[in-house]
């Protein structure tokens, strides 16, 4: 009669394929769960959370990899691989929590699993935050790029001054010397003119006309002109060399700047987007608060299976699981003791044969 009633109960409680799939996701023992229908909904709910967490992890990793490799198939492949890893890890975290033992022991056992689940929640949430705030992140990325270009231009200007400084200094010295020669020539020309016009000064005779003093001043003016022209002729090759070196410095640094700006324009990878999201959170309290809530949502989603398992009461599944594990422990202990006894018997028998 009892067997017939048990058969009827099992017939009335059949696990459909979807329930079974969710129970597998929860990490529960299907053979034990078949005997405890009252636990099916709890384990199916835990399995559903684990499944959806893995789905979100797949989407998150796929988007993150797409920003890195810019290849849809590589992103899909890595996303699925990452999702399966998170799925398996969550199953292990949930299934490793035992409801047997004291409440304090359960808390100690759950703490490292909660820390790990929190860390996974943060990892999963970040790429999805980037996708949710994609437009704002792209705008902030452009701001960062322009800021980096401005900083780059400042660094280039500093390097131009550093590398072209010696050449510019020498050119300045040459120009100053040319100015001195020019001033000497202009001064001689003015004194000659004053001498011819008869203007009295400390350096002129005050006699009008082209006299002996005017002739000497004419010779001095001509000498100053020749000195100026000779110096300009002498220094001309050096000035050409200095101009070429300065032009070379500008050309090289301009080429480097354009090359660097090309890389700056491609500053849109995963790390760059994280930097933009971080700056958005600091600059805008609303975005920072929204990002915090999104991250908190995924952390709650990740740790919820552990919390559900932790706060749920001890049920038939836990008792059967403990009984099954205890039976295996006793069976293993019994086998070990029998093996030890048999070994001791053989040793004693061997010793008796030696004495004989």
Calpha distance 346→339 (Å, rounded): 11
Q: What is the pLDDT of residue 354?
A: 64
pLDDT exceeds cutoff 80 at 256: no
Q: What is the pLDDT of residue 80?
A: 92
Calpha distance 50→213 (Å, rounded): 111
Q: Which residues are CB-contacts of 93 (< 8 A; sequence separation ≥ 6)?
A: 113, 116, 117, 305, 306
pLDDT exceeds cutoff 60 at 73: yes
Binning pLDDT at 50, 70 and 90, where does residue 81 land?
very high
The shares of helix, strand and coil residues in the chain, as percent rounded to the nearest 5, are 85, 0, 10
Q: Which residues are CB-contacts of 112 (< 8 A; sequence separation ≥ 6)?
A: none
Sole residue written with tokens 């299976």: 305
> Per-residue pLDDT tens for 122-178?
888 888 888 888 888 888 888 888 888 788 777 777 777 777 778 788 888 888 888
Q: How many CB atoms lie within 10 A of CB 96?
A: 13
* Domain range annotation of the chain: 2-132+274-342, 147-268
Phi, psi (rounded to 5 degrees) for 280 = -65, -45
Average pLDDT along the chain? 79
> Per-residue pLDDT tens for 20-45?
898 988 888 888 888 888 888 888 88
Q: Which of 9-23, 106-120, 184-198, 199-213 has the lowest mean pLDDT?
A: 199-213
pLDDT exceeds cutoff 50 at 2: no
């Amino acid at each position: 009669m009892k067997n017939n009633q048990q058969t009827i109960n099992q017939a009335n409680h059949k696990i459909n394929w979807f329930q079974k799939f969710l129970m597998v996701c929860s990490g529960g023992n299907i053979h034990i769960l078949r005997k405890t229908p009252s636990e099916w909904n709890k384990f199916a709910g835990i399995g559903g959370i684990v499944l959806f967490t893995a789905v979100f992890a797949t989407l998150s990793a796929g988007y993150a990899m797409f920003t890195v490799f810019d290849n849809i198939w590589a992103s899909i492949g890595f996303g699925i691989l990452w999702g399966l890893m998170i799925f398996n890890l969550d199953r292990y975290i949930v299934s490793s929590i035992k409801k047997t033992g004291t409440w304090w022991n359960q808390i100690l056992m759950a703490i490292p699993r909660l820390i790990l689940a929190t860390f996974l929640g943060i990892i999963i949430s970040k790429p999805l935050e980037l996708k949710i705030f994609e437009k704002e992140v792209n705008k902030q990325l452009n701001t960062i790029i322009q800021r980096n270009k401005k900083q780059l231009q400042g660094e280039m200007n500093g390097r131009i001054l550093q590398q072209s400084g010696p050449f510019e200094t020498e050119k300045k010295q040459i120009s100053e010397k040319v100015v001195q020669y020019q001033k000497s020539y202009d001064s001689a020309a003015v004194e000659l003119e004053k001498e011819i016009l008869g203007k009295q000064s400390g350096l002129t005779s005050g006699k009008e006309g082209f006299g002996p003093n005017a002739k000497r001043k004419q010779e001095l003016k001509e000498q100053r002109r020749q000195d100026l022209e000779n110096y300009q002729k002498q220094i001309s090759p050096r000035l050409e060399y200095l101009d070429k070196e300065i032009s070379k410095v500008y050309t090289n640094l301009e080429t480097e700047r354009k090359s660097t700006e090309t890389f700056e324009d491609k500053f849109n990878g995963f790390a760059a987007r994280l930097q933009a999201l971080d700056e958005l959170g600091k600059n805008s309290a609303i975005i920072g608060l929204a990002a915090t809530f999104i991250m908190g949502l995924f952390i709650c989603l990740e740790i919820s299976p552990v919390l559900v398992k932790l706060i749920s009461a001890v049920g038939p599944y836990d008792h059967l699981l403990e009984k099954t594990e205890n039976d295996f422990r006793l069976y293993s202990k019994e086998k070990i003791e029998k093996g030890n006894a048999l070994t001791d018997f053989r040793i004693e028998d061997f010793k008796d044969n030696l004495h004989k």
